[in-house]
Amino acid sequence: MVIYLHGELGAGKTTLVRGILNALSYPGRVKSPTYTLVEQYHAAGLDLHHFDLYRLHDEQEWETAGFRHEFDGHKIFLIEWPEKARNLIPPADLEIGLEILLKGRKARVHAYTKIGKQCLEKL
């Protein structure tokens, strides 16, 4: 499953990922992958990969890191700043846009595939 996370800096994308992992009873620390580009987690029998592509500069950087091989259909991918790798990553099953309001945040969620729609129905 591929989930795109949109929103300006500070909108809460990583905080949302922390919340998802917390809901899956992940016991460890959830770090922002801003500098590592990806953090991997195992929770509730699921393999989750949290990407932050904000600092990704070009396709060569993506290829050198070996990320293309990560998308094997057996993991859940939460991808911040997906537009930085639009032609390199699979299309989203679910897309979440976060917007900063004067008080709180606003989330917009769109499902594009059967699995995305099933996930959205569970929310």
Tell me the mean pLDDT in the region 89-95.
94
> pLDDT category, 81, cuts 50, 70, 90?
very high
- Which residues, other chains included, contact 58 with Cβ-Cβ below 8 Å and sequence gap of 6+? none
| Overall CATH class of domain 2-122 | alpha beta
Parse the chain into domains and list their residue ranges. 2-122
The confidence score (pLDDT) of residue 61 equals 80
> pLDDT category, 112, cuts 50, 70, 90?
very high
Q: Which residue has the higher pLDDT, 5 or 88?
A: 5
